[in-house]
Amino acid sequence: MALRDEIKNPTLKDCIDKIATKNFSTLGVIVELERNYPNDVERIKSSSARNWRSVIGMAIKRFSVQTNIIKKISPSDESPARWEKNNALF
């Protein structure tokens, strides 16, 4: 199992649901993860101390592809990525 799979889709959905705006960045999800799931974040940090934010970013991308709840609205070379919630699902 890849490190990005440590953060499960229900966890990400819960964090995204807590973001009040339709548009958000990867950093907004990271803030919610740190606030609500500190053990998951610490597990990622301990395995990837330098790149833990990018691992969470990959988990968000996986979530987007698997669930279609959010879509990426920023160019692929922009970091942190910007996301948009799917209107039909929210």
Whether 90 shows a pLDDT value over 80: the answer reads: no
CATH number of 3-89: 1.10.10
CB contact at 8 A, 69 and 61:
no
Residue 24 sits at φ, ψ, to 5 deg, of -155, 170
The pLDDT value recorded for residue 3 is 65
Q: pLDDT for 34-84, tens place per residue? A: 999 999 999 999 988 899 999 999 999 999 999 999 999 999 999 999 999
Kindly list the domain boundaries of the chain, sorted by start residue. 3-89
The span from the CA of 84 to the CA of 23, in Å, is 4
pTM: 0.90
